């Protein structure tokens, strides 16, 4: 049990450090447009892959549709809020970090799908 706790905390810390590193890199190199294009691609990937199933908790077709819809609505709401803030120029640094987090979420979804395909 202690090993699981260590791996979980290590994954959390590494993900956090990765997002902060990307955030700093994007601020230094002014990659505002590139981040938006990557976020658009991440949105499309999320819409296709959501939800990520687990062998310990399989989902039936109705649950897949329900959770896919919820994922799309929540992700869309975050994108609209960030877009509105970007257009008005309010909280640019926070919006950039939120966009990076949304991209990282999709990367983790892809890794989860890949892991599930490997274990089948």
Residue 54, φ and ψ in degrees, nearest 5 = -130, 140
Distances in Å between the Cα of 80 and the Cα atoms of 32, 40, 64 are 16, 12, 24
What is the tally of structural domains in the chain?
1
Claim: this prediction has a pTM higher than 0.85: no
Task: Tell the burial category of 103 from Cβ atoms under 10 Å away from its Cβ (0-12, 13-18, 19+).
Answer: buried
- Closest by CA to 39, choosing from 109, 103, 105, is 103
Q: What is the pLDDT along the chain (120 residues), one digit of tens a residue?
A: 555 566 667 777 888 888 888 888 888 888 888 999 999 999 999 999 888 887 778 888 999 999 999 999 999 999 999 999 988 988 888 888 899 999 999 998 888 888 777 776
Domain ranges, residue 61: 2-119
Q: According to the model, what pLDDT value does residue 50 have?
A: 86
């Amino acid at each position: 049990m202690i090993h699981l706790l260590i791996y979980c905390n290590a994954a959390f810390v590494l993900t956090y450090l990765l997002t902060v590193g990307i955030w700093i890199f994007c601020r230094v190199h002014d990659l505002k447009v590139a981040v938006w294009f990557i976020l658009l691609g991440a949105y499309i990937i999320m819409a296709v892959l959501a939800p990520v199933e687990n062998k310990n908790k399989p989902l039936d077709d109705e649950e897949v549709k329900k959770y896919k819809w919820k994922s799309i609505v929540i992700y869309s709401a975050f994108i609209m809020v960030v877009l509105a803030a970007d257009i008005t120029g309010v909280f640019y640094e926070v919006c950039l970090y939120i966009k990076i987090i949304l991209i990282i979420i999709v990367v983790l979804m892809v890794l989860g799908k890949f892991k599930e395909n490997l274990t089948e």
